[in-house]
Structure formats: structure tokens, C-alpha cells
Amino acid sequence: MREAVSLAQEIKDYQKEAKYRRSLANSLLGIRSYDEAKEELETSLVWAVRQNDLLEQAEIFNILGIIQMEQGDFASAQETYNKSLACCQEIGFQYGEGRVLVNLGNLHYFQGQMSKTLEFYGLAIKIFEQLGEKRGEVQVRLNRASISLNMLGNTSEVEKDALYSLKYAEQVDDPLSKGQALTVLAEAARRNGNLKEARQYMEDGIKVIESTGDLWLLAQERRALGRLDIEEKKPAQALANLNRALEICREAGMANMEPPILALCGLAFIQEERFDEAIEATSEAMSLLSSDIERAYMIPCWHAQVLDAMGRHNEKKQAIQQSYEFLQEALSGLSPAQRQISLEQVPDHYAILKAWEEYNPKN
């Protein structure tokens, strides 16, 4: 693609140059070379704005929004996605509109705004159904399944959406969607206690995702496999997977994904009775804690487990309180009925609630 950019420059075809640069940026995003991708997009955007090419602007803003979102710059991502959406709507580019709506839903999910997430997903589904765009529909189904699993529990709809998406992905040879579907199925199996099945899904998912070069998904999968290792009391294996996840995050500049991985390392160290390293890992994770981190409430929860193992019970109480407060903030985007379901049906949420109630008994 770089050769195509150079050739377009030589013949002074600026329109092709802009499109080739955007395509190059998309490829760079795939391997999480964020800085290089942004440089290509910014150069391409100059031409698109000068020519008032709204289609090209829509494409550029969408990719740029993804980069900003994955780097944790949520305010900029919101603004950039809105620019892409406005361009799409002005020129009647419905597919692009649906795609941006999905990304806006993802953005609100990472900020814990569940009602907005589901609203944007619903709008996107309607557009994709009107267009007969099955791939877009599958992507939204996968996102919905992941959110339902994390926030509302392991419902029958989760497996239905994931299996539907897996079947489609295999039919059309879409490795990225296949990897995402396997990830959802793995987590659903883990929560059901089917650890052998969960491991098989995870290992298959890693193979598929590695073939795509998607480092963001790969880091998530390695983190999930590390947590499964901890549940199966395999700390050395857990640390190998978690350290690989950290390496991927640092290589790709995905700083917001590091704190939960560090906290999980603390749990693995505890199993090896490496207490100093355990508290160092979870303390570092706590120092990086913010509401911009996905499922941030798990970090003080895991920190509390390390403190408990070390007999530091006063500090444990403080960590549990912080975990509970972050959880309540994360659930604030749900309806009261959904919050109740979340606290009862999601094992992590239920555990945090019960730990908090031990220190705050009802009268």
C-alpha cells in the first residue's frame, strides 16, 4: 500500500493518494500502529476537506475515532465519531451510518453508559436489516452478546447470538468475527463452570485472532486465558499468558488495558506465595485506576483478594468499598430492573455486592 501511495504522488493523483493513505491507515490500525495510522489519516483528511469529499471524510473520521477510543481518549472519539456520522447522514451513506452507530455504542459501553450503548446498537441493527447487510448485523450481535454477558449475565440470548455469528463467520471465512464469537462462547462456558470447553474455545480463538493480526482482541483473549489459568490453579501458566497480554498492550500503546492485567498478575503471584510481587502488581494497577477502564471495578476487587491473603484486613475493606462504588457507577446506565439482574446474575457483580454487605450489613 505504501507503494501505491508513492505512485499516486508521482502522478499527482491526490484523490487516489488520499484513499490509499486511508487504506494504509486502516491496515496500520489492524496491527495497532496508532501513531503511524494517525499520520496517514491526517494527511488524507487535508485533501478530503479541501475537496469537500464527505464520503472520504466519513471514512477517515470513523477510523480516527476507533484509534482514539482504543487509546482511551473517549472525549475525542465521541467528537470524531459524530463528525463521521454527520458526513454519512448528509450524503445518505447508510452503511457508514450503521457502522458509526455501532462504534458509538462501543464507546458508550467502555464508559459504562449501557442504555446509550443498547440504543445505538438498536439503531444500527435497523439500518443493517434494511440494507440486508448481514456482516454488520453479525457484528452488532457479537457486541450485544458481549455486553449481555458482562452486564446482565449468561442468558440464552448470549449463546444464540454467538453461535449465529460463528456460523456466519465460518460460511464467509471471516476470521475476525469468528475470533470474536469464540471469545464470547469461551467466557460463557467459563461462567457456567465448563472450564475445559472454555479453554478449547479460548485457544481456538487465539489461533484465529493471531491470523488477523488484531492485537486489541489478542490482548483481551490472553487476559481471559490467564484468568482461566488462575481459576484452575495454574499460576505459572497464568503469568505467561498475562505477561504476553501486557507485552501486546505496551507494543500497541493500549495503556487502558494494562491495569486489569496487572491486577490479575497479583492473583497469580498469590497462588505462588510471592506476596511482595502480588501486592506490587495490584498496587500498580490501583495507581492507574480510573472510570475510563473497562470493568474498572474488578481492579480493587482483585486488590482486596491480595490484601486478604496478606492479612491486611483494614485495607481490604477500603478496596471493597472502592470496588462497590465503581460497580455502582458502571451499572448506572442500566434500568433499575437491569441493575438488579446484573447484581444477581453476573458472578463478579454478585461477589462484590456480598463482600460489601459483609462490612455494611442491613439493619
pTM of the model: 0.75
Distance CA 143, CA 191 (A): 18
pLDDT at 5 over 60: no
CA distances (Å), 286 to each of 111, 148, 251, 264, 303, in order?
A: 18, 26, 22, 12, 8
**Residue bearing the bigger pLDDT, 350 or 2:** 350
Model confidence pLDDT, tens digit, residues 17-39: 666 677 677 777 877 788 888 88
Model confidence pLDDT, tens digit, residues 325-336: 999 988 888 888
User: Would you list the domain boundaries of the chain?
Assistant: 1-130, 133-213, 214-363
Helix, coil or strand: residue 361: coil
pLDDT at 9 over 80: no
pLDDT at 67 over 60: yes
What is the per-residue pLDDT for 33? 82
Question: Residue 333 has what DSSP assignment?
Answer: G
Q: Do domains 1-130 and 214-363 have the same CATH topology?
A: yes
pLDDT at 16 over 80: no
Average pLDDT score, the chain:
90
Percent residues over pLDDT 90 in the chain: 65
pLDDT at 2 over 60: no
Confidence bin at 85 (pLDDT 50/70/90): very high
pLDDT at 54 over 70: yes
What is the per-residue pLDDT for 48? 85
Residues 6+ apart with CB under 8 A from 7: none
Model confidence pLDDT, tens digit, residues 305-326: 999 999 999 999 999 999 999 9
Confidence bin at 10 (pLDDT 50/70/90): low
What is the per-residue pLDDT for 363? 61
The per-residue DSSP string of 252-303 comes to HT-GGGHHHHHHHHHHHHHHTT-HHHHHHHHHHHHHT--TTSTTTTHHHHHH
Q: Which fold does the domain 133-213 belong to in CATH?
A: 1.25.40
What is the per-residue pLDDT for 3? 56
Least confident of 40-44, 127-131, 254-258: 40-44
What is the architecture of the domain spanning 214-363?
Answer: Alpha Horseshoe (1.25)
The grid coordinates of residue 331 equal: 451499572
Closest-CA residue to 120 (of 93, 149, 100, 145): 100
**Residue bearing the bigger pLDDT, 270 or 4:** 270
Please state the rounded mean pLDDT for residues 49-54.
89
What is the architecture of the domain spanning 1-130?
Answer: Alpha Horseshoe (1.25)
